[in-house]
Amino acid sequence: MKKFDKDRLILGLAGPVLALVVALALTTVVLLASGRNPFEPYRIMFDSASYVDVQVLIINQAGTYYLAALAVAVGFRMNLFNIGVDGQYRLAAMMAALVGASVTLPGPLHIALIVIVAMLVGAFWAGIAGFLKTTRGVSEVVSTIMLNSIATALVAWLILPKNFGEQPAGSNNLTTGEIAESGWFPGLPMGDGGEIYGFTFVAAGCGLLYWFGLNRTRFGFDLRATGASESAAQASGVDAKKMILTSMLISGAVAGLAGLPTLLGDTHTYSLDFPTGIGFTGITIALLGRNNPLGIAFSALLIAFLDKSSASLDQFGYEKEIATIMQGLIVISVVVSYELVRRYGVRRQQQKVGEELAAGHAIKTEKEAAL
Amino acid sequence: MRRITRIATVGVASAALALSVTACGGKTSSDAASDGDKAAIAYDIGGRGDQSFNDAAYAGLAKAEKDLDINGSEAEPSDGESDADKVQRLTELARAGNNPVIGVGFAYAPAIKKVAPKFPKTTFGIIDDASVTGKNIANIVFNEEQGSYLAGVAAAKVTKTKTVGFIGGVETPLIKKFEAGYAQGVKDTDPSVKVLPQYLTQPPNFDGFSKPDLGKAAAQGQLDKNADVIYSAAGLAGSGAIEAASKAKKWNIGVDSDQYNQAGLANYKESILTSVTKDIEDAVFNLIKSVKDGKPQSGEIRYGLDKNGVALSMSNPAFADMKDVIAAVDKAKQDIIDGKITVKTAP
C-alpha cells in the first residue's frame, strides 16, 4: 500500500512538472522566434521578484486567485464546471461594498456582515445556474457564462449615480462609496513593501476547510462520489440533484469571497476599475493544481508570480505579454501532460497486474473475489 | 475518463481564450540612453496602438523626446488589474528617476493618491481626473462636452432626415459627457432633430473601445432608423461605425484625433465631416516641458475650447465649404467661451 502511494505521488507531481518544463521550453522558442534574448526576460523576472514590495503583491494576488480557484475546484470535484466565478465575485464584491458602505458597525461585526453578504450574493448567483441544471437540465457551462454577462450589466446598472453608485467630485469614475474604517480588514505590515492583506490568511483557512470538508466528511464523500459517477452515487443513496445544487451554492459562496481581499484590504470601495478576470484565472489555477488545496496554493503563487514579476519587463524592452503567453502555454501543456501521465499510470498498473497474474496470484485473487 | 476529456476540452478552450487576449506591442529598447531628464507615462487599458487615447499621450511623450531631449519610458497595464498593480507601476517609474510620471486615464487616481506623497519632488500627472489633489499632482482635464456641443450644432445643421446618432464606446461618466454636449448642441440648434444615443458595452467590459464590429453593428442599427449623421466616441470601435456610415453615404463625426487625416481611415475620409479633437498630445508635452523648465504644473489644468484643448477639426474641405454650418459652429464656440452657453456634463 505504501509503495502505491509513493507511485501516486510521483505520478501526481510528474504532470505539473512536465507541464511547466514544456511551457518554459515553448516560451523560449517563442522568444527565439521573435529574435529576442531567450533567457534575459527570466532573469529580469526573478530579479524583480526579489524585491519585498513585489513579493507582497505576489502574495496578495495569490490569495485572491486561491479563493477563485477553490470555488472552481469545488465544482470540478462534482464534475461541474462553474465558469461563472468571474461574474459571481464581481456582483458579490459590488453588493458587499454597497452594504458595507451604507452601515457602520463595530469592527468585527462590520467585516462579518460584508463577508456574509458577499457569500450570499455569490451563492445566489451560482444557485441560479444550479437551479436551472437540476430542474430544467440546462448545462451549467452555458448558464454560468451567460450569467457572467448578466452580472456585468447588472453591476453597471446598479452603480449608476441615479441608482446606488456615486461619482466623486472631479472624477470620471463611479464608486459605491467608501466603506467606513471599521469595515477594513487589518493587514500585516511589511515595512516599505506595503502590507499583506489580512484576508489572504482567511483564504488559506478556506483551503484547510476545503480539504477537511472534501476528505473528512460524509458530505465530501458524497460530493466526490457523485462527481465520479452520478448513477453509482444515486444507487448508493445519494440525492444527486441535491448535491448539484449544494455544490453550486458552495462554489458560488467561495467565489463571492474572491473579491474581498482587494475590497477589504485595499480599495474599500467597488469602482469601475475593480479587478476583473480573476474567475477565469481561477480555472487555470484549479486545473494546474489538480483540485488539491496544496496544489492550488502553489499554482496560485506561480501564476501570481508570472503576473507581477513580468510587469517590469516593459521597462527593459521586453513585452510583458511574455508572461501571458507562458500562462496560456502552461494551461495547454497541463492538459496534455496530465492525460499523458494518466495513460502512463494506467499502463503501469496493467503491467503490474499482469506481472502478478504471471507470478501465480491469480487463483488466489479469484478465490478471494468469490468469497 | 469522461471527466478528463471534458476538463481537457475546457482547458484547451480557456487556453485559447487566454492566448487570444495576448496582444503584442512591438516596443524597442531605445530607452536605455544616457542620464538626462526622464519622463514616463503609464498607459490606460489598451496601451499603445489604440489609435486614440493612449497613442495621443504617446505622441506627446515622443514630441518631448524630440524637442526637449527627454528620455521617455512607458509602462502598460494588464487587463483587469487592481489598484495595487498601478501603485507598483507608478512607484517603479518614480523610483527610476522619471519626472514627471503621467497616469493616462482616470483609473490611476487612487494609485496617484497613494504614490504622490511618497515622492514629493516628483510631479505626477493624471489625465481625465480632478478628484485627487496635491502639491505635486497635475490634473489634466478636458471640456469634452464643449467640443461635442459644437459637433451637435454641426450635426443638426447638416442632417436632412432630422435624425442623428451618437455611439458611445463604454457607458462611463466620461463618455456621457460627450453624449450630453452633443445632445444639447443638437437641441439648441434645431429642437426637431432626434438624437439616437447608444452605448456599445457596459463597464468593466471595455470591448466597446476596441472592437470595430460592435461599432459597425450599432451604426447599422442607427442608419436603419434613418440617422444620417453619426458621432462615435468609441476609440477603435468607432472605426467600424465610420465604415458602416461611409458605405451608406452618410456623415460621420470622429473623435479624439482628427480622423479625417488618419491613415487607417483613408478609405472613408470623404464621409468624415469633422472630428471632435482632444489635445492630449500637447497637454502631455506641456506638462513635461513645465517640469523641465523648473516650473512644474500643479493642480487642475483645464483644456477647453478657449485654449483649443478641445476643438472641431476643419480638415474636410466639404465641411469647410458649408458656410452657414461653419458660421453657426463659430458662433456657438464664441458663446461657450464667453460663458453665454453652459454645456451640461451629464445627459
Residues of B in contact with A171 (CB under 8 A): 106, 109, 129-131, 173
Max avg pLDDT among A2-6, A329-333, B118-122: B118-122
Among candidates A53, A280, A314 on the partner chain, residue whose Cβ is nearest the Cβ of B14: A280
Residues of A numbered 207-266 whose beta carbons fall under 8 angstroms of chain B's beta carbons: which are they? 227-228, 262, 266
Percent of chain B with pLDDT over 90: 70
The yes-or-no verdict on residue A370 having pLDDT over 60 is no
Give me the domain span that covers residue A217: 63-275
Where residue A365 falls among pLDDT bands split at 50, 70, 90?
low
pLDDT one-digit tens code per residue, B40-65: 999 987 778 776 778 889 999 999 99
pLDDT reported for residue A361: 60
Determine the length of chain A.
371
Percent of chain A with pLDDT over 90: 58
For A70, A198, A210, A257, A297, the CA distances from A113, given in Å and listed in that order, are 22, 16, 22, 12, 27
Cell of A59: 502574495
Q: How many Å lie between the alpha carbon of B250 and the closest alpha carbon of chain A?
A: 31
pLDDT one-digit tens code per residue, A55-96: 999 999 999 999 999 999 999 999 999 999 999 999 999 999
DSSP per-residue string spanning A251-314: HHHHHHHTTHHHIIIIISS-BTT----HHHHHHHHHHHTTT-HHHHHHHHHHHHHHHHHGGGGG
pLDDT reported for residue A335: 85
A65 alpha-carbon distance from chain centroid? 5
The yes-or-no verdict on residue A174 having pLDDT over 80 is yes
Contact B131 A278 (CB under 8 A): no
Residues of B in contact with A60 (CB under 8 A): 84
Mean pLDDT throughout B205-234?
93
The yes-or-no verdict on residue B83 having pLDDT over 70 is yes
Mean pLDDT throughout A247-269?
95
The yes-or-no verdict on residue A359 having pLDDT over 70 is yes
For A6, A47, A276, the CA distances from A1, given in Å and listed in that order, are 9, 44, 45
**Does residue A39 form part of some domain?**
no
Contact B80 A277 (CB under 8 A): yes
Looking at the domain that runs over B144-277+316-338, which CATH code has it been given?
3.40.50.2300
Find, among B296, B214, B215, B299, the residue nearest to B252 by Cα: B215
Residues of A in contact with B27 (CB under 8 A): 314, 317, 319
Q: How many Å lie between the alpha carbon of A245 and the closest alpha carbon of chain B?
A: 19
Mean pLDDT throughout B115-134?
94
The yes-or-no verdict on residue A249 having pLDDT over 60 is yes
Mean pLDDT throughout A185-202?
90
**Does residue A58 form part of some domain?**
no
Residues of A numbered 12-51 whose beta carbons fall under 8 angstroms of chain B's beta carbons: which are they? none
**Does residue A172 form part of some domain?**
yes
**Does residue A215 form part of some domain?**
yes
Residues paired with B137 in a beta bridge? B124
Report d(CA A218, CA A222) in Å as an integer. 6
| Domains of chain A: total | 1
The yes-or-no verdict on residue B34 having pLDDT over 70 is no
Which of the two residues, A321 and A261, has the higher pLDDT score? A261
Q: How many Å lie between the alpha carbon of A360 and the closest alpha carbon of chain B?
A: 30
Mean pLDDT throughout A103-126?
95
Q: Which CATH superfamily is domain B34-142+281-303 in?
A: Response regulator (3.40.50.2300)
Q: Which residue of A has its CA nearest to B204?
A: A272
Domains in chain B: boundaries: 34-142+281-303, 144-277+316-338
Where residue B77 falls among pLDDT bands split at 50, 70, 90?
confident
Arithmetic mean of pLDDT over chain A: 90
**In this structure, are residues B209 and B46 in contact, taking their beta carbons and an 8 Å threshold?**
yes
pLDDT reported for residue B17: 44
pLDDT reported for residue A334: 85
Max avg pLDDT among A228-242, A312-326, B6-20, B284-298: B284-298
Question: For residue B111, how many C-alpha atoms fall within 13 Å in the half-sphere facing its CB?
Answer: 30
For A246, A251, B2, B165, the CA distances from A233, given in Å and listed in that order, are 15, 20, 16, 59
Residues paired with B124 in a beta bridge? B101, B137
Where residue A363 falls among pLDDT bands split at 50, 70, 90?
low
Mean pLDDT throughout B124-139?
94
The yes-or-no verdict on residue B21 having pLDDT over 50 is no
The yes-or-no verdict on residue B28 having pLDDT over 90 is no
Tell me whether strands A188-189 and A195-196 are parallel, antiparallel or unpaired: antiparallel
Q: How many CB atoms lie within 10 A of CB B317?
A: 9
**In this structure, are residues A151 and B204 in contact, taking their beta carbons and an 8 Å threshold?**
no
Q: How many Å lie between the alpha carbon of B89 and the closest alpha carbon of chain A?
A: 8
Q: Cell 476643419, residue? A: B314
Mean pLDDT throughout B256-270?
88
For A100, A267, B5, B324, the CA distances from A112, given in Å and listed in that order, are 10, 18, 40, 65
In chain A, count of helices (H) and strands (E)? Answer: 15, 2
Contact B73 A53 (CB under 8 A): no
Contact B80 A327 (CB under 8 A): no
Report d(CA A272, CA A276) in Å as an integer. 10
| Structural element, H or E, at residue B186 | helix B173-189
**Does residue A303 form part of some domain?**
no
Percent of chain A with pLDDT over 70: 95
Cell of A83: 465558469
**Does residue A365 form part of some domain?**
no
The yes-or-no verdict on residue B27 having pLDDT over 50 is no
Tell me the whole-structure pTM to 2 decimals: 0.85
The yes-or-no verdict on residue B31 having pLDDT over 60 is no
Report d(CA B160, CA B153) in Å as an integer. 14
Q: How many CB atoms lie within 10 A of CB B117?
A: 13
Mean pLDDT throughout A29-53?
89
Mean pLDDT throughout A147-161?
94
**In this structure, are residues B124 and B100 in contact, taking their beta carbons and an 8 Å threshold?**
yes
**Does residue A20 form part of some domain?**
no
The yes-or-no verdict on residue B242 having pLDDT over 80 is yes
The yes-or-no verdict on residue B26 having pLDDT over 50 is no
Tell me whether strands A188-189 and B163-170 are parallel, antiparallel or unpaired: unpaired
Contact B88 A53 (CB under 8 A): yes
